[in-house]
Amino acid sequence: MKHLFLLLFLFFEFVAFGQVTEYFDEYRVTRTSDLSKEKKLLNETEHLTEILLPYFNDSLFYVRQKAYSFIFRKGMSVAASEKASYIILLLKGCDDADGGIIGQNMMWLQSFSRSDYTDDAKFFINKLLNKKRLPHRKRLIMLAGYVGAGKEILQRQLLQQNLSSKERWYIHLALARLGVQQSIDFCSQTFDSLPLDNNLVEYVMPDIIYTRQKALLDLCIEHLNSDQLACMTADPDNEKPVLCGYRILELLAPVIESFPIGVSAIGGLDTPDYRAALLTARQWFFENQDFHVRADFF
């Protein structure tokens, strides 16, 4: 009976291997994705990582990219206790020769919970941080800060004389997320030196909120309370000055625990009345100055 079960297991494994191989052989030629077929393969294929191993070294970048997309989607669907191996494979893909694959993997890695990152994963992030040249380095630095890796490496790199102003900013953001007071102060001083306008809200404030440091989020809340018409509407054909607080509220709402205003799937506020929501938010922050910040996601 044991031999029968073994034969059945090997048979189904062989069938699964053939189905995945057939799909990738077809994709290699057509570059056309069949999402329903992919979903079936992801749901029904055991030992998917082993079957995909040859495709991570394929000569065609789009075949490698497709293999990593399978790893990401499978990794997001398995139990938390099983995610580590998928994260490691995505991190190894950040050593790929194609910058597009590196950038995509970095973005996918942001989707996992901090608790999914093992010491081995953090060690691999440290190795990547030590590489002199790596595409999408900002994403790597921010990922390190998010998962709690590379603190000493980033502090050493901050001392380099030839560091660009942009990379210095990214490193300070990551170190601020890791709780380094010097970097929290640097971010605070930089933020305070900039005027309230669209650029501050759209490009700087998301970075500040990434740090999840309450002292820095308090600076954002000060601008939330401003009645200055310092931002412009998003419609280029009908630009007019508006309160920046509406957009700031969209940025803050997802990261505040027990916040009374939710956020929709597309990132907007889950409310039909933005004016009322802004008034509610201002009052809530006034009454809850000891609010807690969510740091469990990127």
For 170-181, write each residue's pLDDT tens digit. 999 999 999 999
Predicted local confidence at residue 15, as pLDDT: 54
Nearest in space to 184 (alpha carbons), one of 145, 156, 128 = 145
Q: Give the mean pLDDT of 57-68.
A: 97
Predicted local confidence at residue 8, as pLDDT: 35
- Final residue of a structural domain among 71, 92, 116: 116
Predicted local confidence at residue 60, as pLDDT: 97
What is the band of 16 on the pLDDT scale with cuts at 50, 70, 90?
Answer: low
The model's pLDDT over 141-176, given as tens digits with 9 standing for 90+, comes to 999 999 999 999 999 999 999 999 999 999 999 999
What is the band of 5 on the pLDDT scale with cuts at 50, 70, 90?
Answer: very low
- Final residue of a structural domain among 73, 89, 116: 116
Nearest in space to 125 (alpha carbons), one of 113, 109, 112 = 109
Is 235 within the bounds of a domain? Answer: yes
Is 2 within the bounds of a domain? Answer: no
- C-alpha angle 252/253/254, rounded to 5°? 100
- CA atoms of 181 and 192, how far apart (whole Å): 16
Helices (H), ranges, the chain: 2-30, 35-44, 48-52, 61-77, 84-92, 99-109, 119-129, 137-147, 151-157, 165-177, 181-192, 198-199, 205-210, 214-224, 245-252, 274-287
Q: Which strand (E) or helix (H) includes residue 231? A: strand 231-232
Is 127 within the bounds of a domain? Answer: no
Q: Which residue has the higher pLDDT, 153 or 3?
A: 153
Query: Residue 269 forms beta bridges with which residues?
Result: 263
Is 129 within the bounds of a domain? Answer: no
- CA atoms of 114 and 295, how far apart (whole Å): 9
What is the residue range of 88's domain?
10-116
* The token pair that represents 209 in the structure block: 């909120």
Predicted local confidence at residue 6, as pLDDT: 39
Q: Whole-number mean pLDDT of the chain?
A: 92
Cβ neighbours of residue 46 under 8 Å, at least 6 residues apart? 12, 13, 16
Nearest in space to 226 (alpha carbons), one of 203, 200, 196, 204 = 196
Q: Give the mean pLDDT of 70-75.
A: 97
- Final residue of a structural domain among 116, 136, 168: 116
pLDDT at 12 over 50: no
Is 202 within the bounds of a domain? Answer: no
Is 163 within the bounds of a domain? Answer: no
Report DSSP state, residue 36.
Answer: H
- CA atoms of 82 and 84, how far apart (whole Å): 6
Number of domain units in the chain: 2
Predicted local confidence at residue 2, as pLDDT: 47
Nearest in space to 111 (alpha carbons), one of 139, 76, 140 = 76
Is 187 within the bounds of a domain? Answer: no
Is 197 within the bounds of a domain? Answer: no
The model's pLDDT over 231-245, given as tens digits with 9 standing for 90+, comes to 998 888 888 999 999
pLDDT at 204 over 60: yes
